[in-house]
């Protein structure tokens, strides 16, 4: 697995295939008051995302629910 997932988290040992995955993951180890740990909460349901793009995709689920 090491050759397929070359990027390893120094904190927990979790491995990633892409450097960006490791970079995003490292934020989970930051303290809650660390300014690097940005959070994007959903105003509708309160679910929290660490990437704005994930929040935007999630919001589409709510708009689909309203159409039904």
pLDDT tens, position by position, 10-42: 999 999 999 999 998 898 898 878 877 778 899
Structure tokens at 18: 């892409």
Contact 63, 46 (CB under 8 A): no
Partners of residue 49 on adjacent β-strands: 40
Question: What pLDDT is attached to residue 28?
Answer: 86
The pTM of this model reads 0.54
CATH 3.30.530.20 holds for 1-30:
no
pLDDT at 57 over 80: yes
What's the chain's average pLDDT? Answer: 87
Nearest to 37 by CA among 47, 19, 50, 21: 50
The Cα–Cα gap between 63 and 26 comes to 31
């Amino acid at each position: 697995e090491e050759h397929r997932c070359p990027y390893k988290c120094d904190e927990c040992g979790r491995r990633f295939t892409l450097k960006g995955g490791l970079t995003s993951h490292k934020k989970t180890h930051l303290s809650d008051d660390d300014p690097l740990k940005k959070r994007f909460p959903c105003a509708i349901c309160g679910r929290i995302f660490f990437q704005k793009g994930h929040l935007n995709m999630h919001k589409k689920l709510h708009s689909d629910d309203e159409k039904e």
